[in-house]
Amino acid sequence: MKKKLVMLLAGLLTVLSMGFGLAQFSDVPAGHWAKEAVEALAAKGILVGFPDGTYRGNETLTRYQAALIIYRLLQQIEEELKAKGTSPTMEAMSSEDLEALKNAVQELAAELAALGVRVSALEDSAATKEDIARLEAMIEELKAMPMPEPGMDAAALQDLADRVEAASIAADTALAQAQQLAEQLDALAQDVEGVKGDLAALGTQVEANAQAIQALNELAVLLNQDVLALQDRVTALEKGLAELQGVDFEQFASKEDVAAVQEFAAALRSDLVGLSEKVSKLEGTVGDLSGKVSKLERNAFTISGSLSLSYGAFAGSGTQFDIDRVFSSNFSTGDSDSDGLVVDHEDLGQNAEGQTSATLSLTLKANALDAKSSPGGYNTYPGLVGFSLTGSISNPASGTTYGPLNVTVDAVSTTLAVAKDQALSFTFGRSVKTKFSEYVFDNDGVSYGHGLVATYKPGVLGATLTGVYASKGGADGDNLYVRGAGLTLSPFQGFSLKGAVAQQGGDILGGGPSAVTVYGVGADLALGPVSLSGEYFSSDAAANANGYYVKAKADLGLVSVEGNYRSIGAGVNPANMLSYDAAPANAANAAPFHADQVGYGAKANLTLGALSLGGFYDTYTGAGARTAYGAEAGLKFGAFSLSGYYRVADSGNNGTPDDSAAKETAGTSSYVSSGSDYTQYGAKLTHDGKATDAFIKGLNLTAAYDVRPQFAPGAKTDIAVYGDFSFTLGFLKGMLLGRYHVQDVVGAPAQSYTTLKYGVKAETEALAVPLKPSVFGEYVARTTDGGTADNAETKYALGLKLNEFLFANSSLEVKYGSYIAQNVGSVLVGNAEKAWDASVDHLYDSTLNAAGVNGSVTGFYVTWNYWDLALSYADFVVDNNGSPLYGRGFKISYKVVF
């Protein structure tokens, strides 16, 4: 029965899908497979064409047109049944068949409707969704009509069968997609198992190797990302499953399959929870290991050093000389006196029979050892002790026994928790550094000596109490001790009061006939953009060893101003104030104003975009009394800066400008004048080649003009234009240098001179040819033409390096060069290293406009290097003011740094 129903509906829907028409339609081609059916239905009056005589079989059938066709069809069926019960085109059906047909139509309608929902949800195919939608609409119309008894045309039924088959294929496709979904879930499960395996391996690695902590941190981050990705995928799957809840999966997969998928999803969520817990545990382990590693790093004990072996043979005239002014070499003795120069030390010229030498240097260092108190360990001291020890042994004699090495602890610092909001910290050792004020016991730059500094913070009024007890210079035999205390109160932000007292004496209590007592009080106040500070200090070491000062400053946006008033006694000096930072030998720190002056000063600055204006005035009486004032302006445009200035110095405050007057501040020297002010005016223009908006990248240029009208014996004019230009042209790197400097003193030709300095140097990268050669060359010279004597220096050098000589990591280098000088301090050694500094006149000797010696240093150098092994040979000839000298050397050296 169901087969008959299918055939009937196939015939009906095939015709309905064609549209309306007459018996003869102008647009139905001859031989069309549906032509006979169209004409038959048109002859029965079921189909009616369009007014223009067309059928329009390819147009979409509307629901209204379908309702009209079905209505006419059912009318004709009803009339035939009433008249005859049979017809030429239909076969009579029993009441049972009619009832079965009705039920079958209803079943098919329900099935087709469900199939449309499923296909829409699982397969977004526009053609399938449209077909199912049309079927559902037509079936709904049929359900509202009486059921026909007869059958229908066989061709139409066959067409419907084809369409039903297509719908079945769509259902099979949906089932295949469900199976594909199951396969994806299986793959996801495998991914989870893989991740679980990775976690197990990672856990083993964490336990086995604490040094891999950084890698574990990175891996934990990746695992977290994987977990988040898996959770996103599971969320998407759960959402998909929720959307499929209303679908009858029996048409696509069995209930057992769906249940299995749901069970697997639940298991997968459980595994993800477990995985998340394991990752969290792993993160905790990583954090714990990170803390342990940090502690190990904090308590690190390191050994470093170097081993140097060499064999050297030297021949010479006996007078030693330096060759570093020509080029660098393995014969350089370096900066043995730590003055920043290598050209002031001799390298060749001695006679020495070949001998070996060995030097072992070791440095033992404890970074910051943790500790705890005893007994009970109530306090822990992170980073309590730090020390370093460096020693070296060179050419030990056979059978020599060396005594034990002494370890010196430079300083120990720790903080103890006394009570809530209270702390006590102390530092002791050979380096006692602390400061009470600018004038009282200012020793935070250079240590006073050996001793103890304790600091207590009671947690009230922002108080800090500092105490010190120390012996100056340690066990240096002077038996001088100091004890002192300082208190600072900061009851609110921006305000502080301070007071201090220190006493130095010749006995263990700090007293005695030679005792020195220093004390002082001060305050600081900041109110928004305005700040005030002041101090009073006194010492009983000498008369007038006291003083005071006040300073004020205001930053008002475009304008900033500051001023001071001071009265500093003549007896104020580092020893009397127990402030050794300012001692001339140390020059680490200094007081704001030097001794023996009463005066005041002020300065102001105005900034208007790229334009800046400023001025100052300062005056004082006492030793070296003077007044100084001036103004300056600056303009910045791109990488260029233009500045101008006018200054007046009045020594003695007599109203007459002078060329030089002592500066008022101590600078980096003692409590004495640290320089001079001049009556002068001038301007300067600069270009910064490193600036991002440089006009020419790599070009540093300065043009300066300065006049000192009060210079004796006549006005001095100074003009200088200098700069350098660094460039890269493919594999070539180089630099150009130039300087022109003129100093003219009116009426004093002997003090007038002109300097011209110029140079060029270039080097290539290792060329991609056999032996990988690279070359370098440099030439720099200066000439100073003066009224007293002409000076000249010239230096040139050439070199070739084979960076792959014979085999890998082997190189051979050959250099040749010369340094030639006229009227310099010495040809044997130099006193400066300014060859490639455009801001100064000289190269390696600072003599200007003065007579001296003439000569040259010329030679060549060959060295072969393989890793840390070097074989070197040098041969030089010296013309020392007409006296010939020579020096040769052969050296084998090997150095390893560990």
Q: Is 19 helix (H, G, I), strand (E, B) or coil?
A: coil
pLDDT at 181: 45
Containing 412, the helix (H) or strand (E) segment is strand 411-419
Lowest mean pLDDT among 343-352, 384-393, 403-412, 735-744: 403-412
- 313 with 888: CB under 8 angstroms? no
In this prediction, residue 817 has a pLDDT band, given cuts at 50, 70 and 90, of: very high
Cα gap 729→731, rounded to integer Å: 6
Instruction: Give pLDDT tens digits for 19-49.
Output: 333 346 777 777 777 777 777 777 777 777 7
The total number of residues written for the chain in this structure:
898
- φ, ψ (nearest 5 deg) of residue 472: -65, 125
Lowest mean pLDDT among 44-48, 454-458, 488-492, 683-687: 44-48
Lowest mean pLDDT among 87-91, 230-234, 651-655: 87-91
In this prediction, residue 134 has a pLDDT band, given cuts at 50, 70 and 90, of: low
pLDDT at 602 > cutoff 60: yes
pLDDT at 235: 65
Q: Which of 161, 162, 167 is nearest to 116 (CA)?
A: 167
Kindly give the interhelix angle for 255-298 and 213-243, rounded to the nearest 10 degrees. Answer: 160
- 524 with 499: CB under 8 angstroms? no
- Give mean pLDDT, residues 84-97: 50
Cα gap 795→146, rounded to integer Å: 119
Containing 582, the helix (H) or strand (E) segment is none
- Give mean pLDDT, residues 243-252: 54
Q: What is the DSSP string of 485-552?
A: EEEEEEEETTEEEEEEEEEEESSTTS-STT-EEEEEEEEEEEETTEEEEEEEEEESSSTT-EEEEEEE
pLDDT at 767: 94
Cα gap 881→852, rounded to integer Å: 9
- 67 with 141: CB under 8 angstroms? yes
**Beta strand 516-527 with 530-539: parallel, antiparallel or unpaired?**
antiparallel
pLDDT at 755: 97
Adjacent-strand bridge partners of 620: 599, 626
- Give mean pLDDT, residues 464-470: 93
pLDDT at 802 > cutoff 70: yes
Cα gap 507→480, rounded to integer Å: 7
pLDDT at 269: 65
In this prediction, residue 835 has a pLDDT band, given cuts at 50, 70 and 90, of: very high
In a 10 Å sphere around its CB, with 0-12 CB exposed, 13-18 middle and 19+ buried, how is residue 524 labelled?
A: middle
Please give the single-letter amino acid code of residue 596. Answer: D
Q: Is 642 helix (H, G, I), strand (E, B) or coil?
A: strand
Cα gap 135→145, rounded to integer Å: 16
Q: How many CB atoms lie within 10 A of CB 220?
A: 19
Instruction: Give pLDDT tens digits for 603-637.
Output: 999 999 999 999 999 999 988 899 999 999 999 99
Q: How far is CA 339 from the centre of its chain?
A: 34
Kindly give the interhelix angle for 154-208 and 95-122, rounded to the nearest 10 degrees. Answer: 40
pTM: 0.63
pLDDT at 196: 41
Mean pLDDT, all residues of the chain: 78
pLDDT at 715 > cutoff 90: yes
Lowest mean pLDDT among 107-111, 231-235, 590-594, 839-843: 107-111
Q: Which of 580, 576, 581 is nearest to 595 (CA)?
A: 576
Higher pLDDT: 770 or 68? It is 770
pLDDT at 28: 77
Q: What is the number of H-type helices and E-type strands within the chain?
A: 9, 30
Tracing tokens 């040979």 back to the chain, one arrives at: 873
Cα gap 895→358, rounded to integer Å: 10
Lowest mean pLDDT among 3-17, 627-641, 699-713: 3-17
573 to 77, 542, 783: CA distances (angstroms): 132, 10, 45
In this prediction, residue 212 has a pLDDT band, given cuts at 50, 70 and 90, of: very low
Instruction: Give pLDDT tens digits for 292-341.
Output: 776 666 667 778 888 888 999 999 999 999 999 999 999 999 988 888 89
Q: How far is CA 744 from the centre of its chain?
A: 50
pLDDT at 337: 84
